[in-house]
Structure formats: structure tokens, C-alpha cells
Structure 1
Amino acid sequence: MRVPTLQTSRVQLDAISARQAEQARLQSRIASGLRVQTPGDDPAAAAQAELARSRLAHLAQDQRATQLATSVLATADGALAQGVDLLQSAREAIVAAGNGAYNPVDKQALALTLRNTRAQLLQIANASDGAGGYVFGGQGTSTAPFSGDASPAYGAAAGAQRIGEAGRYDASVDGQQVFMNLPQGNGVFTTASTPGNTGGGWIDAGSVTDAAALTGHGYTITLGGTTAAPTYTVTDTTLNAAVASNVPFTAGAPIDIDGQRVQIAGTPATGDSFTLAPAGRQSIFATLDDAIALLEGSPTAAAYNEGLERVHTGLDRALDGMTLARTRVGEAQRGVETSASANDQEKLDVTTRRSGLQDQDLAQAISDLQTSQASSQAALQTYVSTSRKSLFDLLG
């Protein structure tokens, strides 16, 4: 007859079950590598780990944005580099066109060069970004941003696409700013001969000598006096008031008007006039069209010199604008690279923090499992030994 009580057996069985349950938990943690498999394992750690997981998802999305922005900006930089080279070539052609030894055939050849340059610039303006969009597509467009060969028009919304977390990265370039919205003349004001002038005088593009004195008004310079003693009068056409009257005139000498300086060269006739006006905006395509028309036409020597001066200045402004655009793209690239590097570091930090919250120390878990198995084996042996005891063993 056996003597172990029901209570003793139950206590021993409960202890064995607890050790087996602990072994199962340890084996599951070792198999998954996770210490926190359910929120109940460690509520605080589980909550923090979920926040870390959410942050990692955001970082992964931002990483994809940096990769796209890097690709698009690299394409934009290459396109702008080609554009700068083309404008440099066009500028050299205009400088060459000022050679007095060039005949009409030479000028036609230069005009053909400018036509090819214009066509290549239009192709660059409609360059694909390799991701289904356009490099100079502004805020986004499903079709080529520039349409029409004769007078290209910009069909996309001005600005640039922004992607990534909080829209930190540029994913396009404002084509309107690069190709269409370029300042005329010297960037502040424009000059021109009045139609109907009878002399051989022409006016240069001018320059700004005192920005604080600029008024933004229009002006007219009218030649007077006599052939032997020419003079000029300056009128503010905005206020319809004389600024200077009967000032002695010398061809090629500077004329200063409210912070603006111009020179009238050649042999203007009495009664000829020249104008100054605030600079407007013009596309690079229109500037090249002006240059081509000048080289293919038959203007007077004065009109030719003045036209070359105007086109040369316009190309300089376009070249400055495109160079500045390339600089901005370079800055954007550097910003993306810096953000990508920071994202990589944050991803490593967040991953490390999440691992510390969730991951199981395998060496410790294996040690705990071995200890639990030894304890469980001892408990089983004790139970077996106790369960075999009988009344005769106790009486003996």
C-alpha cells in the first residue's frame, strides 16, 4: 500500500508543470531570438519596441525618397552641365560674329550653329528624369514641360516637386526659372535705338553704377545741337520730366542717368533717340531666335552692333542663371547626401534600441534552459522516488 498524500503529489506535479512551462518559454525565445514575443511578456518594452518599429518604417520610406532624389538630381546636374556648355558655345559664336571680317556666308554658318544649339537646349529642357517624370517638370507633369518648337511654352506648374519626410528633398527643377524667366538686358534695364533713327549711332547694354539711385522709370536720350557741337537731352518718360538738357555729347563717352550708365557709339544724327526701360523677362529660346535673326538678316552696321550687344548680354544672363541653377542642384544633392547619412545613423541607433528591448540574450537563455532542465529532472526523480514509497517501507 502506498502512502504519499494527494497534496504532496499535487505540489510536486505543479512544480514539474511550472518548470516545463518555463522550458517551453525559453525554447520559444531561443528559436525566435526574441525576449518579448507578446505585449504580456514585457508591456513597457513592447510599447517602446513598437514605437521603434514605426520609426524604422518611416526611415525606410525616407530612404527610398533619398534614393529617388539622388537619381533625379544627378540627372538634372548632367542636363544643366550640358546646357552650360551649349550656352558657352553660343556665346563664343556671338563673340565671333563681331569680327568685322566675317561675310554673310560666315554669319549664316554661325546662325546654323545657333539653330543646332537651340534645338539641343530644347531637348535638354524636356529631358526625362528616368523615373517617369521630367527633370525640368516643375511641380509635376505627365507630358513634356516645353511644347512648341517655334515659341516653346512652359506647360508645367512653376516650382519643384518635394518628396521625403516633411518634403525635404527636391525631385525636379523649375524649368520656367531656368529657361523661360530670364532677365532681359543687363538684368536691371534694357536699352534700344528708337525706330526711325537716321544716323549710324547705337547704344550699348549699359550697366548699374548706383543701385540706390535706381528709380525703375523709363528714359529717352535725344540727340540735339549741331554736327559740330552735338548735345543730348535726357527725359524721364515715366514722369514726363527732363533730367538733363543740352549736355555736350561725345560718342563713346558714358552717360549717367539715375544710377544707370550707357554709352552711345557710332555717328548718331541730330534728332536720333535712344531708350532705357526696366528689364522684363525673356526665354533663352527667344534670345537665340534674336541672335539667329540678326545673323541671317541684313541690318545696318549700327543695328548689327547694337543687336550683338543685346544678344551677348542676354546670353550672359542665361549662362549666369543656368550656372546658378546647377549650383542649387549641387547644394540640393549635398543636402540629400547629408540626410541619407543621418538616416543611416538613426536607423542603426533605432535598430540597436529595438534590439535591446526585444531581442533575447541567447547565451543567457541557453544557460537558463539548461538550469531549468536540470531542475525539472531533479523534480521528476524526486516525484518518482516519493511515489514508490509504501506502508511496508515505512514500517520496515
Structure 2
Amino acid sequence: MRLSTSMIYQQNMSSVLDAQSDWQRIGMQLASGKRVINPSDDPLAATQLVSLKQAQSQNDQYTMARGYARQSISIEESVLQQVTSTLQKIKPVLVDGGNGTKSDADRASLATQLEGLRDQLLNLANSADGNGRYIFAGYNTEKAPYTKAADGTVSYGGGGLPLEQQVDASRTMTVGHTGDSVFNSATSSPVKEPDGSVQKDIFAALDKAIDALNTPIAGADQATKDALQADVDAANRCLRNSIDNVSQVRAELGTNLKELDTLDTIGSEREITYKTRISDTQDVDWYQAISDYSLRQVSLQAAYKAFNDMQGMSLFQVIR
């Protein structure tokens, strides 16, 4: 094989460049603290890192989602606590209104109290969070779910589906109930009317009770008195159904909050696992890297020396 001066030069230059590249690569690992900087450094490890970082990112997203869910559930629970308090205040007024010995003036006074509590309940049903989104409107969060007509009738116009949030890979949770499921529903074992029906709409029941208490009974026949009394009694039964239903919703919210705590604990453990695996796969072994850096430095210096020694030689000098 024929060797030329240029060929010898190129071979020595390649050795120098290779040694320099290896030395710089180890230097970058030491500077960054990472063993895998480019996919070419370790293709298998690079592939594993992509999967691990995707899983870590997804876990972070679920952590944020649980934070949002906890905030929404906590706000709803706080409002429902006030709703329960208001419903409890309505109870003695209806009981008092069911007393057939009350005068028309007393009944009118009770109706006024009931009206105020009904309006207070309506305001709670139209509660909004800190961002102006209505809590009990389902997905129609930009519009108040309940409206009050000129005649005092209250109607629901919010969404039909509750707000849901995916809080983990296989768990979607209700984070906002519709007003219809809170104020216009009953549990699976409600107090029934004499005809077997179930009063669910607390606003409609209160409206009837208010009208009944505002209606004078002095001089009225017994049939009229019985009909008015029936409206007050029906409101009382509906109130019991409403209290039970709100309590059931609150129990669900409490269960969801506990589950979020459990999922947060699991998510934190996952985060530690992902960080550990990413570190084991990506981070540099300092002892090995320092040793390799020193070795590559010696190799580079040797390559420089060999190149300098060969630079002053030629075939003419060898055969002279």
C-alpha cells in the first residue's frame, strides 16, 4: 500500500479531532450534569427519557387538575353549608305557619319571613366563584342558573350536565353540580305526598306556602282553610326532602375531597419515582465521568504530540 504525506497528515488529524471530540463530550457531561445530552449519546436511554418525561408531564397536569377540582368543590361545599343553614331557618317558620290558630296578621308576618329566606336561598343558588362563573349552572357558567319572574316564580335555566374534571388517568370527578340536582331533586327515599307523588322543587313549594300564608283565613270556609294548610304542609315535606338532598350532595363533595387527597398522595409518589428514574437514566456518574475526562485529556495530549511529531516528517526524510 502506497502512503503519501497527505494521507499520513489526514490520519493524524482525524485522531486529534476524534480525541478532542471525546474530551469535549465528557466535558459537556460534567458541565451539565447529564450523561445523555444528545440522542446519539445513548439511543436506548434517550427513548426511555422521552417516555418518562411524557409520563411526568401528564402527572403534573393531573396534579394541576386536582388543584382546580379541589378549589371548585371547596367553593361549592362552602355555599351548600350556607344553603343548609338557610333551609334550617325555614323549617321553624313553616312549622309555625302550620299552626291553625295564627291570626291573619301573624300569617302575613310569617309569609314575609319566608319570602326573605326564599330570596336568600335564591341568591345562594345563583352564587358565583371568584372568576364570575356561576357555581350551579353546569356548563352554562356565564349565565345565572335561576331567574325570578315578576310574579315571584323561580325557574331554573342552567345547564343539564354537571361540571366534570379528569383528575387522574382513569378518574373523572364531578366538580360542580347543576342547580337542578341540588334544589330541584330528592334522594332515593324521599318523604312522599298523600297521593304518592314527591315534592322536589323547593322554590315552587315555598312560593305556594308564601301565597297560602298571605291568604286571609278569617271567615273562610273549612275547605279553603284545609287547602291552604295543605300547601304549607306540602312545603314542609318538600323542605325535608331538600335538606336530605343537599346533605347527600355535600356528602358526595366530602368523599371527593378525601379522594383528591388520596390521589395527590399517589401523584406525589409517582413524581418521586419519575424523578428517580429520570435521574438514573440521564444524570452523569460523576466518578466515572471525571475518570473518563482525565483519560480523554491524556489521549488528546498524546494525539497532539503525535501530530506535532509527524508534522515535521515526510517520506523524503525517511528515504534520504
Fold shared, TM-score > 0.5 on shorter chain: yes
Of 337, 349, 356, the residue aligned with 2:280 is 356
Letter in 2 for 1:160: P
RMSD: 3.2
| Alignment deviations for residues 203-254 of structure 1 (CA, whole Å, 9 cap, x no partner) | xxxxxxxxxxxxxxxxxxxxxxxxxxxxxxxxxxxxxxxxxxxxxxxxxxxx
Preserved CA contact (<8 Å) 1:188 1:279:
no
Instruction: Return the letter of the residue paired with 2:202.
Output: I
SS of 2:158's equivalent?
coil
Q: Which residue of 2 aligns with 1:151?
A: 153
* Aligned with residue 373 of structure 1, among 280, 297, 309: 297
**TM-aligned CA deviation for residue 130 of structure 1:** 2.9
Cα distance in 2 for partners of 1:119, 1:188 equals 24
Within-5 A mapping of 1:190-205 = 190-191=193-194
Alpha-carbon distance in 2 for matches of 1:125, 1:57? 37
Question: Which is further off, 81-90 or 277-286?
Answer: 277-286
Q: What corresponds to 1:187 in structure 2?
A: 190
Q: Which residue identity lines up with residue 330 of structure 1 in the other structure?
A: G
Deviations 1:240-282 (A, max 9, x none): xxxxxxxxxxxxxxxxxxxxxxxxxxxxxxxxxxxxx231443
**C-alpha contact (below 8 Å) 1:12/1:379 kept by paired residues:** yes
**Comparing 18-27 and 350-359, the one that deviates more:** 350-359
Q: Could you tell me whether the CA contact under 8 Å between 2:192 and 2:237 is conserved in 1?
A: no
Q: Which amino acid aligns with 1:83?
A: V
Rounded to whole Å, the distance in 1 between the matches of 2:104 and 2:191 is 33
Amino acid at match of 2:250: R
Provide the rounded CA distance (Å) in 2 between the counterparts of 1:153 and 1:306: 23
Map 1:1-396 to 2 at 5 A: 13-98=13-98, 102-149=102-149, 150-164=152-166, 165=169, 168-182=172-186, 187=190, 189-191=192-194, 277-299=195-217, 300=222, 302-303=226-227, 305-381=229-305, 384=308
Asked whether the equivalents of residues 66 and 260 of structure 2 are also in contact (C-alpha less than 8 Å), the reply is yes
Structure 2 residue identity aligned to 1:151: T
Q: Normalised by the size of structure 1, how large is the TM-score? A: 0.67
- In the alignment, structure 1 segments of 5+ residues that lack a partner are 192-276
Once residues 197 and 110 of structure 2 are traced to their aligned partners in structure 1, the CA distance between those partners, rounded to angstroms, is: 27
Q: Please say which structure displays the higher CA radius of gyration.
A: 1
The question of whether the paired residues in 2 share the 8 Å contact of 1:187 and 1:279 is answered with no
| Partner AA of 2:162 in structure 1 | A
Q: Which has the higher helix share?
A: 2
Compute the TM-score of the two structures, normalised by the length of structure 2.
Answer: 0.81
Is the Cα–Cα contact under 8 Å of residues 59 and 343 in structure 1 kept in the other structure? Answer: yes
SS in 2 for 1:282: coil
